[in-house]
């Protein structure tokens, strides 16, 4: 197994920490498993298109640039 883009995992982790969520809480919010969020953050997998949309909605809800942008920063 090869690692996916590491910078994406870092951005997901930054988003999660910024929202004061555990991996379990973020997983529940996005409708995925804890293991899925863990794999994203560790760079082992990348989110599906559906999960990316959920992440983008979460970012928009909290007025944060999406993780598909170059960084998660306040708008």
**pLDDT tens digits for 22-43?**
999 999 999 999 999 999 999 9
Is residue 5 classed exposed, middle or buried when 0-12, 13-18 and 19+ CB atoms within 10 A define those classes? exposed
Domain with 30, as residue range(s), is 6-61
* Residue 24 forms part of a structural domain: yes
What whole-number distance in Å separates Cα of residue 22 and Cα of residue 37?
A: 10
Task: Identify which has the larger pLDDT, 15 or 67.
Answer: 15
Domain count, the chain: 1
User: Which residues lie across from 64 on neighbouring strands?
Assistant: 74
- pLDDT tier at 74 (50, 70, 90 boundaries)? very low
On whether the CB atoms of residues 37 and 16 are closer than 8 A, the answer is yes
* Residue 69 forms part of a structural domain: no
Q: Of 57, 17, 69, 62, which is closest to residue 41 (Cα–Cα)?
A: 17
């Amino acid at each position: 197994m090869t690692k996916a883009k590491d910078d994406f995992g870092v951005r997901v982790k930054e988003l999660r920490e910024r929202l004061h969520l555990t991996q379990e809480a973020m997983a529940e919010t996005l409708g995925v498993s804890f293991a899925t969020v863990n794999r994203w953050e560790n760079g082992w997998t990348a989110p599906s298109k559906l999960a990316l949309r959920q992440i983008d909605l979460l970012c928009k809800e909290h007025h944060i640039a999406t993780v598909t942008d170059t960084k998660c920063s306040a708008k």
